[in-house]
Amino acid sequence: MGLQPVYGDTLHAAMTEADKVGGDLVIKAWRLQGSGLVLLDTYRDDSRQFNEVSIAGPLATDVLNGHRAVTGALPAWTVN
């Protein structure tokens, strides 16, 4: 699991939902409101299975697309 702040009150969490071979890639956006966190949105990639995920922020917001976080994931591989 990885956490990345994207604004002063907002963060993204990237994780895999693990099972025996791997899991879905899940990215959630959260915002601090009052005394807790509010889930803003969830993205799920269930097209393949993943073992590892990482999330990081660029030094500056991408001027072309506005991205504030970058994720990377390793697909699960089965061994025969």
Kindly list the domain boundaries of the chain, sorted by start residue: 2-75
Supply the pLDDT for residue 38. 96
Q: What share of the chain in percent tops pLDDT 70? A: 76
Q: CA 11 to CA 25: how far, in whole Å?
A: 17
Residue 26: how many other CB atoms lie within 10 Å: 18
Residue 15: how many other CB atoms lie within 10 Å: 18
pLDDT per position as a tens digit, 6-31 = 888 888 898 888 765 678 889 999 99
- Taking the model in full, what pTM does it have? 0.73
Supply the pLDDT for residue 68. 67
* 63's tokens: 């001027």
Is there a contact between 17 and 45 (Cβ–Cβ < 8 Å)? Answer: no
Q: CA 73 to CA 45: how far, in whole Å?
A: 11
pLDDT per position as a tens digit, 28-56 = 999 999 989 999 999 998 888 888 888 88
